[in-house]
Amino acid sequence: MVTVGGSLASLQNDNNEITTRSLAANTAWQTDKFRTNSKTGQVQYRVSTHEWVNASNVSFAKNGVVSALSNITNLSGSHSVNLAGPTGFVYALFSANGSRSSRGLAGNSAWFTDKSATDAQGNTYYCVSTDEWVKFSNGVSFN
């Protein structure tokens, strides 16, 4: 299963030529094969008998379980994520591939953020280090 990110994803045919069709944003598609495009070197997934989508435009999930973050967006201006207390409360961190980090952030703290993303369930995450994301949930505010 592949899920398209936040914008249309163009398709290429078996001859690596761009077709007139594309996949809608935030839609999921079955895939049965992958290849490396001989013209661009990009990995692609087959989503119809003779059409392929670039891996850079989708998230891949084995058995249909999408855990990776998508729609990663650079935020303009200066922003922070504020975490409510108490100080002893720890907010979980996640990587862009969806796995939980062994580290966390203490409550009653604030962190600079320059990116946002969403998961397959529509939850929003904010990047607080190179590849560590905090989920926007109870106690988390964005400024």
pLDDT tens figures, 78-133: 999 999 988 778 888 888 888 778 888 999 999 999 999 998 778 899 999 999 99
Give every CB contact of residue 46 below 8 A, 6+ residues apart in sequence.
Answer: 31, 32, 33, 34, 35, 52
* Pair (137, 79) in one structural domain: yes
> Which domain, by its residues, includes 74?
70-142
Question: Model-level pTM?
Answer: 0.54
* Pair (48, 87) in one structural domain: no
Residue 62: its pLDDT value, please? 62
The C-alpha atoms of residue 108 and residue 90 are separated, in whole angstroms, by 10
pLDDT, tens digit (0-9, with 9 covering 90-100), for 36-90:
877 888 889 899 999 999 988 888 776 544 468 888 999 999 999 999 988 778 8
Residue 95: its pLDDT value, please? 87
* Pair (42, 82) in one structural domain: no
Long-range contacts of 7-11 (CB under 8 A, 24+ apart): 7/57, 9/53, 9/54, 9/57, 9/58, 10/53, 10/54, 10/57, 11/47, 11/48, 11/51, 11/52, 11/53
* Pair (45, 82) in one structural domain: no
